[in-house]
Amino acid sequence: MKFKTFAAFVAPSLVMMLLFIAAPLVSVFIGSFQLHQPVLQEVEEETCTPGFTGQTCTTTIVTRPLIDESGNMITTTDWVGWTNYTRVLNPEAAWAAVSSLDWSALMQIDFWAALRFTLMFTLVTLPLVIGVGLAIALVVNNAAKTIRGPVIFISLLPFIITPVIGALSIRWLFIGDGILTAGLEAWLDRDLALFAQAWTIELMMMFYRVWHVAPFAFVIFYAGLQTVNQDTLESAIIDGANRFERLRYVIVPHLAPLIVFIALIHLMDAYRVFEEIVGFTSQAHVISLQWLTYDFLQPDDSGNRAFGRASASSMLTMVGIVVLLIPLLRRTWRDHKGGSH
Amino acid sequence: MNLRPILMAGAISAVALPAAADCAFENTVPLRSLSAAFEAWNAVTDAMTECGNFEAELSQEFRTLQPEAMAANPALYQLGGVSNGTVTPLLNAQTIRPLDDLVEQYGQQLRPNQLIRINGQTMAIAMMVNTQHLMYRSDILDDLGLDVPETWDEVLAAAEVIEAAGVVDYPLGATMATGWNLAQDFNNMFLGYGGQFLNSDGTPAVNSEAGVNSLETMMALTEYMDPEYLVSDSTYVQQQFQQGRIAMANLWGSRGAAMDDPAESQVVGLVDAAAAPRAMEGGPPATTLWWDGIVIAANITDEEAAAAFRVAMEGIDTEMVQANNDAAVWLIEGYEPGRLAVGAIATATADPAPTAYPSTSQMGLMHSALGNALPAYFTGDVSAEAALAAVEAAYITSAQEAGVLE
- Using a CB-CB cut-off of 8 Å, the residues of chain B touching A63 are 360-362, 404
Give the residue ranges of chain B where pLDDT is below 50. 1-21
Residues B135 and B284 in one domain: yes
Which one of B342, B360, B377 terminates a domain? Answer: B342
Question: Residues 6 or more apart from A159 whose CB is under 8 A from it?
Answer: A212, A213, A215, A216, A219
The verdict on residue A267 lying in a domain is yes
Q: Give the structural domain span for B150.
A: 131-288
The verdict on residue B384 lying in a domain is no
pLDDT confidence of residue A260 = 92
Q: Does residue A45 belong to the interface with chain B, where contact is any CB pair within 8 Å? A: yes
Instruction: Give the Cα separation of A39 and A73 in Å (integer).
Output: 8
Q: Is B10 exposed, middle or buried (0-12, 13-18, 19+ CB in 10 A)?
A: exposed
Specify whether the CB–CB gap between A164 and A276 falls below 8 A. no
- Using a CB-CB cut-off of 8 Å, the residues of chain A touching B386 are 108
- Predicted TM-score (pTM) of the model is 0.83
Q: Which residue of A has its CA nearest to B367?
A: A300
- Using a CB-CB cut-off of 8 Å, the residues of chain B touching A80 are none
Residues B117 and B221 in one domain: no
The verdict on residue B106 lying in a domain is yes
pLDDT in tens, chain A (341 residues): 788 899 899 999 999 999 999 999 999 999 999 998 888 888 888 888 877 667 778 888 888 888 888 778 888 888 999 999 999 998 998 999 999 988 888 888 889 999 999 999 999 999 999 999 999 999 898 887 888 888 888 888 888 888 888 888 888 888 877 888 888 888 888 887 888 888 889 999 999 999 999 999 999 999 999 998 888 888 988 988 888 888 888 899 999 999 999 999 999 999 999 989 988 888 888 899 999 999 999 887 777 788 999 999 999 999 999 999 998 888 888 887 765 44
- Burial A252-279, CB ≥16 within 10 A → b, else e: eebbeebbbbbbbebbebbbbbbbbbbb
Residues B279 and B164 in one domain: yes
Residues B155 and B203 in one domain: yes
- Cβ separation of A108 and B376 shorter than 8 Å? yes
Which one of B342, B358, B374 terminates a domain? Answer: B342
The verdict on residue A11 lying in a domain is no
pLDDT confidence of residue B11 = 41
Residues B214 and B117 in one domain: no
ipTM over 0.90: no
Rg over CA atoms, chain B: 21
Instruction: Give the Cα separation of A56 and A169 in Å (integer).
Output: 46
Structural domain count of chain B: 2
- Nearest CB to A38 within list B331, B353, B403: B403
The verdict on residue B357 lying in a domain is no
Structural domain count of chain A: 1
- Nearest CB to A284 within list B120, B379, B398: B379
CA-based nearest distance A195→chain B, Å: 5
CA distances from A292 to A34, A272, B64, B402 (A): 19, 11, 17, 18
Q: By three-state DSSP, how is residue B175 classified?
A: coil
pLDDT confidence of residue A339 = 56
The verdict on residue B239 lying in a domain is yes
Residues B139 and B259 in one domain: yes
- Using a CB-CB cut-off of 8 Å, the residues of chain B touching A199 are none
Query: Strand pairing of B170-174 and B246-252?
Result: parallel
pLDDT confidence of residue B9 = 44
Enumerate residues 178 to 217 of chain A having a beta carbon within 8 A of any beta carbon in chain B: 193-198
Which one of B265, B288, B311 terminates a domain? Answer: B288
- Nearest CB to B85 within list A73, A301, A304: A301
The verdict on residue B330 lying in a domain is yes
pLDDT confidence of residue A317 = 93
Q: What CATH number did the domain enclosing B45 receive?
A: 3.40.190.10
Q: Give the structural domain span for A249.
A: 103-338
Residues B75 and B151 in one domain: no
Enumerate residues 53 to 82 of chain A having a beta carbon within 8 A of any beta carbon in chain B: 53-57, 60, 62-65, 67, 71, 73
Mean pLDDT of chain B, nearest integer: 89
The verdict on residue B390 lying in a domain is no
The verdict on residue B371 lying in a domain is no
- Nearest CB to A55 within list B6, B112, B231: B112
Q: Read off the pLDDT of residues B89-145 as tens digits, 9 standing for 90 and up.
A: 899 889 999 999 999 999 998 988 899 988 889 999 999 999 999 999 999 999 999
Q: Does residue A42 belong to the interface with chain B, where contact is any CB pair within 8 Å? A: no
Residues B94 and B183 in one domain: no
The verdict on residue A159 lying in a domain is yes
Q: Which residue of A has its CA nearest to B361?
A: A302
CA-based nearest distance A159→chain B, Å: 22
- Nearest CB to B363 within list A39, A53, A302: A302
Residues B41 and B117 in one domain: yes
- Cβ separation of B390 and A300 shorter than 8 Å? no
Enumerate residues 83 to 102 of chain A having a beta carbon within 8 A of any beta carbon in chain B: 87
The verdict on residue A207 lying in a domain is yes
pLDDT confidence of residue A162 = 87
Q: What CATH number did the domain enclosing A169 receive?
A: 1.10.3720.10
Residues B82 and B184 in one domain: no
What is the C-alpha end-to-end distance of chain B, expressed in Å? 40
